[in-house]
Amino acid sequence: KFSHLGDVEEQTWDEVVLGCETAVLVAFWAPWCGPCRLMHPIIADLAKAYAGRLRCLRVNTDENQEVASRYGIRSIPTILIFKDGERKETVIGAIADTALAATVDRFL
């Protein structure tokens, strides 16, 4: 459904997120979270628009609590943006596609 959205887990985190050559957007979500589900198509569209320049991934916090706690995720949806293995930005809550794009633009 969201073909441009990959899933990342604890085991693959360091390689897929921290080792990525491009900027990485990671959405922390859970299946029971309504606002999270609203964000999926927005992030998928962003992934398509920035293909090759931005990797978009999501983390199911129910299944990957270690990653969530490592980054202090207390509420979802939370979006983290990484560049060169470092967390650059944190966006908490559901936000408009234009606002998310503007945030991402700063790191490309």
Cite the active site residues: 33, 36
Find, among 32, 35, 27, the residue nearest to 58 by Cα.
27
Classify 52 in phi/psi space as left (phi over 0), alpha (psi -120 to 50) or beta.
left
Both tokens assigned to 94: 């559901």
Cα angle 95-22-59, degrees, rounded to a multiple of 5: 50
